Chains A and B, each alone.
Chain A
Amino acid sequence: MSLTRIRLLVWKEFLQLRRDPLLLRLLLLMPIIQLVGFGYVVSVDVRNLPTAVVDLDQTVVSRQLESSFTASGYFLVVARPDAETQLTSLLDTGVAKVALVIPQGTQDLLARGQTAPVGIVVDGSDSQIASVGSGYAAQAIARFNASRTAAFTGSLQAPGIDARTRVVFNPTLDPINTMIPGLVAAILMISLMSIMSQAVVRERESGTLEQMFVTPIRPSEYLIGKVAPYALLAVAQLSVVAAIGMLWFKVPFNGSVWVVFVGLALFLLISVGLGLLVSLISRTRQQAQQALVFIMIPTMVLSGFIFPIESMPEAIQPLTYAVPLRYALTVLRGSFVKGSGFEALATPLWAMVGFAIVIFGAAVIATRRRIAE
């Protein structure tokens, strides 16, 4: 292995990157656009849930109950129908996602010291809104009960059971806090794989690959020369994404920088390796693109990036172990949100080491075969 030749290959690769301003811009802009897009979409959806309030009681108490909902910031009253029958159309059209129904006589029942039932209707077509919405509704009602008890006894120490759910690790239940660490990994994978998948196949089409392997350049030198420049670029991308996530979206970082660094470095190698493999196996650039989509979609669906793995059917769950992004997400979320260390994350980290070894081994073999063909 010759360092001089590797340096030469890296120099050549950077020169070529510089001549492709679109690619460079894409590389640095894509993560920012994705981050901001995902970041805002995710945060807007869960706050300000469009809510319909059917107040059949029209009393002081019913208005207090309503304001305990709106004060939380999670519910935004968009309609005040006169009758419960009008709710169906509001929910069907999606004008409202949550409805609060306060029956007539609620104030009277409470004044007599009895339990007053109120109705909460949640649109279950979006499971995330349903679970988050009903959770917040329960909190709002609990808050209302607490304030009433406090008013009666004159003490803030309310008697009775406070049934409020305590959400650990992510107290505000702000999905952005788990989304940003996940996005870091996903963006890294998408951009690295799409560039790497074109890298070798382009040289194959132009004949320069063939030419280089008649010279003293060895396959391992070629691979290192190909991977190193993009790995460096990935680090730059990563810093941009992480900085925006932490400074703009104020995602708290509770973990160790080293855990994140090791996890990302491993995942970066896996992504570059996978892209390289696609590029080595494909004969044309179109083929490489197809192969990329073929890998990307199951990765996004099965990794837990969008849908929680726990909510997948049991028959599907074992498949998720074959998706490297799954482990990267575990490491990043664990580290960012929970502050988990190396011991707690040993399993996913070692799994990624395994993936990296297998993928790079395959890449070296594929390079040899590509040349020999």
Chain B
Amino acid sequence: MTREGEVHGIPADPSAAISVRGLTKTFGNFTAVDGIDLDVPRGQVFGFLGPNGSGKTTTIRILTGTSAPRSGQALVLGEDVVAHPERVRPRIGYMSQKFALFEDLTVDENLRFYAGVYALDPAVFAARRRYILEMADLQGRERELTRNLSVGWRQRLALGAATIHEPDLLFLDEPTSGVDPVARRQFWDLLYELAGRGVTLFVTTHYMEEASHCHRLAFIYRGRIVAEGSPNEIRANLSTQRVYDVTVRDADLALGWLETADGIAEAYLSGAALHAVIDRGVDRGAGALRERLVAAGFADAVVVSVEPTIEDVFVNLVSRERGQTDGSSDRVS
């Protein structure tokens, strides 16, 4: 049955929260998801990372049973979600970046609606409602239209609505985009609380600092998983390279120089500073790099060796992948 399952050599695992083998989805000539394998153990916060258009949302749609894959196997909570989405849906929750609440309904009406959809009995609903109102800090505002709530509250209410039926697995599709850093922080605290109660979280994000909040990560790029592991394992991808943080007044000009300079594997903007990646074989330390920068006319350059961030790894993986697919046809597997 698991024709594609042999890619990993291991068949799909029904005890995992999510187990996917050879999942492929095409739209016309475009391959959105290209034969991916994934295992998400129960009770973990699983980060699914990738740039926009890399196949994150398509994967979530398949896993929630709203989109049928072209081929491959997808077990969600041990059930084949492609064949029996109705068995999976009552046990999963879903929250998108749109915080899909009915804006012309009140806080209470929104909760009542979703409670009804999952057929919660009145006693359970009363308890869940109390819990969600407290969690979202919305006590006393039950009769307000959700349209009038500000973003942070709407986000927490949406989380409450998506988890009103206490799902075993929660999908979050870029749940924090457009939310200010403080609210984002509070939101992650809520996610940890859910994870602490044994809920598996499948989170997509393109905020790299959020990736380190996850137990496990997978990078998807152009429909393929290019790296998978714990944040530390992911960082180890760069163990053969060193990352330098370069602070310089004229960052644009310096970036142009770094991109073409000898021995620099990679250079890119990272916050207000620049990051330069150098292979360990040719690395001569921060001082040497500074001297070269000064010689090139960047007298104010400050160079510090830093621990690679998830973002550094990500940029590196993407450029490696690009080099493989664009440069030659013989892909290393």
Chain B CB within 8 A of A239 CB = no
CA distance A171 to B97 in the complex (A): 65
Minimum CB–CB distance from A16 to chain B (whole Å) comes to: 5
Q: In the complex the two chains form, is B116's CB within 8 Å of A15's CB?
A: no
On chain B, the residues within 8 Å of A216 by CB distance are 86, 89-90, 117-118
Closest A residue to B58 by CB, please name it.
A373
CA distance A16 to B103 in the complex (A): 9
CA distance A22 to B65 in the complex (A): 38
CA distance A12 to B105 in the complex (A): 8
Query: A86-94, A117-125, A202-210: which one contacts chain B?
Result: A202-210
Q: In the complex the two chains form, is A4's CB within 8 Å of B119's CB?
A: yes
Chain B CB within 8 A of A214 CB = yes
Q: In the complex the two chains form, is B98's CB within 8 Å of A12's CB?
A: no
* Residue in A15, A207, A212, A215 whose beta carbon sits within 8 Å of that of B109 in the complex: A15
Residue of B90, B92, B104, B114 with most partner-chain A CB within 10 A: B104
Q: In the complex the two chains form, is B102's CB within 8 Å of A208's CB?
A: yes
Minimum CB–CB distance from B145 to chain A (whole Å) comes to: 8
Minimum CB–CB distance from A103 to chain B (whole Å) comes to: 73
Q: In the complex the two chains form, is A207's CB within 8 Å of B66's CB?
A: no
CA distance A4 to B115 in the complex (A): 12
CA distance A334 to B114 in the complex (A): 48
CA distance A211 to B60 in the complex (A): 12
Chain B CB within 8 A of A350 CB = no
CA distance A207 to B68 in the complex (A): 20
Closest A residue to B103 by CB, please name it.
A206
Q: In the complex the two chains form, is A206's CB within 8 Å of B113's CB?
A: no
* Residue in B96, B100, B104, B113 whose beta carbon sits within 8 Å of that of A20 in the complex: B104
Q: In the complex the two chains form, is A210's CB within 8 Å of B96's CB?
A: yes
* Residue in B67, B68, B118 whose beta carbon sits within 8 Å of that of A215 in the complex: B118
Q: Can you list, as one digit per residue, whether each of B66-81 has a CB less than 8 Å from chain A (1) or not (0)?
A: 1110000000000000
Chain A CB within 8 A of B94 CB = yes
With contacts A216-B90, A372-B67 taken as known, whether A16 is within 8 angstroms of B113 at the C-beta atoms is no
* Residue in A12, A16, A211, A371 whose beta carbon sits within 8 Å of that of B100 in the complex: A211
Q: In the complex the two chains form, is B118's CB within 8 Å of A373's CB?
A: no
CA distance A12 to B67 in the complex (A): 26
With contacts A211-B94, A216-B89 taken as known, whether A206 is within 8 angstroms of B100 at the C-beta atoms is yes
Chain A CB within 8 A of B187 CB = no
Q: In the complex the two chains form, is B105's CB within 8 Å of A15's CB?
A: yes
On chain B, the residues within 8 Å of A210 by CB distance are 66, 96, 98, 100
Chain A CB within 8 A of B219 CB = no
Q: Report how many residues on chain B are interfacial, defined by Cβ distance under 8 Å.
A: 30
With contacts A8-B113, A20-B104 taken as known, whether A372 is within 8 angstroms of B66 at the C-beta atoms is yes
Q: In the complex the two chains form, is A5's CB within 8 Å of B116's CB?
A: yes
Chain A CB within 8 A of B59 CB = no
CA distance A213 to B64 in the complex (A): 9
A-B contact count (CB 8 A): 67
CA distance A206 to B101 in the complex (A): 8
Interface residues of A in 1-37 (CB under 8 A from B): 4-5, 8, 11-12, 15-16, 19-20
With contacts A214-B92, A372-B67, A372-B68 taken as known, whether A207 is within 8 angstroms of B117 at the C-beta atoms is no
CA distance A342 to B8 in the complex (A): 68
Q: In the complex the two chains form, is B114's CB within 8 Å of A215's CB?
A: yes
Q: In the complex the two chains form, is A214's CB within 8 Å of B64's CB?
A: yes
On chain A, the residues within 8 Å of B65 by CB distance are 214
On chain A, the residues within 8 Å of B145 by CB distance are 19
CA distance A372 to B68 in the complex (A): 7
Q: Can you list, as one digit per residue, whether each of A189-228 has a CB less than 8 Å from chain B (1) or not (0)?
A: 0000000000000000011101111111100000000000
* Residue in B66, B68, B105 whose beta carbon sits within 8 Å of that of A16 in the complex: B105
Closest A residue to B161 by CB, please name it.
A211
Q: In the complex the two chains form, is A208's CB within 8 Å of B117's CB?
A: no
Q: Can you list, as one digit per residue, whether each of B250-276 has a CB less than 8 Å from chain A (1) or not (0)?
A: 000000000000000000000000000
CA distance A4 to B119 in the complex (A): 8
On chain A, the residues within 8 Å of B66 by CB distance are 210, 213-214, 371-372
Q: In the complex the two chains form, is A211's CB within 8 Å of B96's CB?
A: yes
Q: In the complex the two chains form, is B116's CB within 8 Å of A8's CB?
A: yes
CA distance A214 to B100 in the complex (A): 12
Q: In the complex the two chains form, is B109's CB within 8 Å of A373's CB?
A: no
Closest A residue to B57 by CB, please name it.
A210
With contacts A16-B104, A208-B100, A211-B94 taken as known, whether A5 is within 8 angstroms of B117 at the C-beta atoms is yes
On chain B, the residues within 8 Å of A372 by CB distance are 66-68
Closest B residue to A12 by CB, please name it.
B113
Closest A residue to B119 by CB, please name it.
A4
Q: In the complex the two chains form, is A207's CB within 8 Å of B99's CB?
A: yes
With contacts A8-B113, A8-B116, A216-B90 taken as known, whether A19 is within 8 angstroms of B100 at the C-beta atoms is no
Q: Can you list, as one digit per residue, whether each of B31-70 has a CB less than 8 Å from chain A (1) or not (0)?
A: 0000000000000000000000000000000001111100
Interface residues of B in 135-183 (CB under 8 A from A): 145, 162, 171
With contacts A15-B109, A372-B66 taken as known, whether A4 is within 8 angstroms of B104 at the C-beta atoms is no
On chain A, the residues within 8 Å of B68 by CB distance are 372
On chain A, the residues within 8 Å of B116 by CB distance are 4-5, 8
Q: What are 20 sample pairs from A and B whose C-beta atoms fall under 8 A apart?
A: A5-B116, A5-B117, A8-B116, A8-B117, A15-B109, A19-B145, A20-B104, A207-B96, A207-B98, A210-B66, A211-B96, A211-B100, A212-B117, A214-B93, A214-B94, A215-B118, A371-B66, A371-B67, A372-B67, A372-B68
Known contacts A15-B104, A210-B98, then 20 further A-B pairs from the complex at CB < 8 Å, ordered by chain A residue: A4-B119, A5-B116, A12-B113, A16-B104, A16-B105, A19-B145, A20-B104, A206-B100, A207-B98, A210-B66, A210-B100, A211-B94, A213-B66, A214-B64, A214-B89, A214-B94, A214-B171, A215-B114, A216-B117, A371-B66
